Structure 1
Amino acid sequence: TPVDIIICDIMMPQMNGLEFCQQIKGDIQTNHIPIIMLTAKNAVDDQIECYKAGAESYIAKPFEMKILQARIDNLLQSREQSRQSFRSKMEINISNLNYQTSDEEFLNNAMQCVERHIQESEFDTVQMANELHISRSTLSRKCKVISGCTPLEFIRNIKLKYACALLKKKTISISEVAYATGFSSPKYFTKCFKEEFGMTPTEYQSQ
């Protein structure tokens, strides 16, 4: 079952919350999951330790449940806004999408992987998972959580963002861009572009 968020106390048996947080954030299969740390300590150094361990948020005890719920809602809403922003943007730039470092690293690696195969129409999720050294299930989970796309949708989205950069060169034709980004035909490229961005490549190029 996919985990949307983790809430843990610093004081736990066997392993303390900071160690647990570091373990979650050190594993590529789980480092995309936001963590809220709960602790009875409220010194600045304690808060810094939580953030150093990789936690996204920190709440000192005692606290009102409404505060915890508001923090959960805020983190989940922020993640959803980042997903929507990533997919809808017509250029490749994740620096202003409010991602955690591990998410940015995954997105950068995944985008570079697609770009290395940008002209290959047969490039698929099996090759992508192999090059990223993760399982297909982990690739699927991380793509969906971080970008809002399935791996195939992610590949297409990156190719279309790359196409936008090419289309800014007014001298290049739609057909040239379609084949340069690995689409089987200009007609299919136009169909995908309009589905993704709500306009045709010609309309985008003429802006």
Structure 2
Amino acid sequence: MTESILIVDDNLEILEFLTEVLGDTYKVHVAENGEIALQILDTEVIHLIVLDVMMPGMDGFELCHLVKSNVEYCHIPVLLLTSKSSHRSHIEGLEAGADAYTRKPFSPKFIQVQIANLLNNRLKIKTHFASSPFEDVRVMAHSKTDETFLKKLDDYIRKNIQDSQMDIDKLAEHMNMSRPTLYRKIKSLSALSPKELINITRLKKAACLIAENEFSLSEIARMVGYGSQSLFSRNFQKHFNASPLEYLNSLPKTTTK
């Protein structure tokens, strides 16, 4: 998957320069002001924002604060660009919620490395969550707002885990979000579609039940919302690289009966 970056700057030369520097690696969206940036955030899955501080109207600090205080966008890392060199401006950027701060002028290599590091750190967390049977979904949270959002989402999925018809429409209604907004939020935050997140939650719950060794595999399949044990076994194998029985046999004997 090619990650998407939003560049916000009122200087067209900077927009063209950064598009050229980053365009071979990422899908690049550009905005000349904060209002256009918000329109893009409302329609696209954005993985990182490169944001100039000095802009007319809504400046970079204001837009950064708005992004970081909105549950729909707060998970997106923000890299601030500024020609200011004072400690006060740096502190102001961090107070607005920026994840990184770069002074102009900067070399193409420097900003490429900064962006790669921010995205790679997020990717490691997403991969760890998806592949670890007992890892809590809140490991992907980068703020208290995200933690609350993920807990509410996870609680609903687990409460209704036997519902084989659970889908994004039911999740969106519970989360008081539109379907597209929830999709963008989950996709950007976890790199998963809502359907994939539901399925991984089912499989993680199944892994916990298998470890308890109190139910048959067919019972566990039904308990986590699978109407077919064969489909459950195939999905478990695909996700954890082991069949449910192999997984059970791999557990320490003290956890099984």
Normalising by the residue count of structure 1, what TM-score does the alignment of the two structures yield? 0.89
Name the residue aligned to 1:85. 128
Equivalent of residue 119 in structure 2, options 51, 60, 76: 76
Name the residue aligned to 1:194. 237
**Secondary structure at 1:55 match in 2:** coil
**Secondary structure at 1:27 match in 2:** coil
Q: 2: CA distance between counterparts of 1:68 and 1:55?
A: 15
Q: 1: CA distance between counterparts of 2:138 and 2:72?
A: 22
Q: Deviations over 1:30-68 (max 9, x none)?
A: 223221012234444433332221211111233333211
Name the residue aligned to 1:174. 217
> Shift of residue 117 of structure 1?
0.6
Q: 2: CA distance between counterparts of 1:77 and 1:41?
A: 28
Name the residue aligned to 1:149. 192
Name the residue aligned to 1:55. 98
Counterpart AA for 2:77: P
Q: Does the aligned pair in 1 maintain the 2:161–2:202 contact within 8 Å?
A: yes
> Shift of residue 28 of structure 1?
2.9
Q: 2: CA distance between counterparts of 1:198 and 1:103?
A: 30
Q: 1: CA distance between counterparts of 2:175 and 2:103?
A: 38
Q: 1: CA distance between counterparts of 2:223 and 2:95?
A: 43
Q: 1: CA distance between counterparts of 2:154 and 2:170?
A: 13
The 5-angstrom pairing of residues 8-157 of structure 1 reads 8-94=51-137, 99-101=141-143, 102-157=145-200
Q: 1: CA distance between counterparts of 2:239 and 2:230?
A: 14
**Higher RCO (CA < 8 A, seq sep 6+):** 1
Q: 1:135 to 1:110 in 2, by over 3 A?
A: same
**Secondary structure at 2:80 match in 1:** strand
> Shift of residue 90 of structure 1?
1.1
RMSD: 2.0
Q: 2: CA distance between counterparts of 1:56 and 1:103?
A: 15
Higher alpha-carbon deviation: 54-63 or 13-22: 54-63
Counterpart AA for 2:83: A
Q: 1:105 to 1:45 in 2, by over 3 A?
A: farther
Q: 1: CA distance between counterparts of 2:47 and 2:224?
A: 34
Q: 2: CA distance between counterparts of 1:145 and 1:43?
A: 33
Q: Does the aligned pair in 2 maintain the 1:92–1:162 contact within 8 Å?
A: no
> Considering only CA atoms, is the larger Rg found in Structure 1 or Structure 2?
2
Equivalent of residue 161 in structure 1, options 190, 204, 209: 204
Q: 1:72 to 1:150 in 2, by over 3 A?
A: same
Higher alpha-carbon deviation: 2-11 or 128-137: 2-11
Aligned length: 206
Q: 2: CA distance between counterparts of 1:180 and 1:40?
A: 57
Q: 2: CA distance between counterparts of 1:100 and 1:185?
A: 36
- Equivalent pairs: percent with the same residue? 34
> Shift of residue 148 of structure 1?
1.9
